[in-house]
Structure 1
């Protein structure tokens, strides 16, 4: 009986070890499948466009949009592929997103506190014009400026919605070429 007990214990230990290894391997493969599925989930086109534009320097960005504007999609994909080193499919998707959702060139800058941005004497000028339109009934107001962008306009809207209409009007005059009276009229329409 003793001669069978030792091999039986070894056999049980080996079976338990195999079961543990099999369970760990299946858990690892399941995690790998989930991460691959998450990685292959397509991004929103606007988000993809922002990320893709951030990978280009100013000259590459200019040339890429020049090719897109000329209808030379294949050349734009080739340029993006060479500039970023991404694959052909990723480059095709990126150029498609950039064409559908144009992105201004933004240079990575060191992070600043939001208060430091508001304390600047001179607002930053962007290489594009930003249009903001508000309307209420028959009244419509428009502001077009190369000193506005989504972030600044969002801060102005937040000020207006929180009840600080004077602060919103002052911020709007600081980032556009309109006077305080026009800015107050614009902010009053934005308030609702």
Structure 2
């Protein structure tokens, strides 16, 4: 009988520790739910809008450049350092921004900015942007003052999501190339 007392005491102590730990965790979860920090935005478009609003214009441009280059880890790191969000929140935000590209909106402007994809005439920038794609021995270049990192990032996102025709149409809209040339360029972007 004495040989069972010590294991029984150990079992009681372990059960009490587990119960106290579970109670502490449930209190933390309840407190964070009450504070609103544990419930992330479930709508990815809203998450992308909120994430883009936390970035400066330069951070926004650099983030989309990294996304366009396929450097997801660098983009997450940039967002993490820029916003002091948690690592998981940064990962989710960058994923939402890649899937649902957002134009930069300055904090001073109260009225919503029209999405550049909805415009009939694309914006012309004071510089020429060069987009280069290659596969094997084949290299294609598109140079236009209607392209920038953000637009090219959206085109690459369309390619990664499998919407090749929309990517080619967007490329022709923001450059002076034909749809056939755009399709050839897009074919080089496909992995």
TM-score normalised by length of structure 1: 0.42
TM-score by length of 2: 0.43
- Indicate the structure (1 or 2) with the bigger Cα radius of gyration: 1
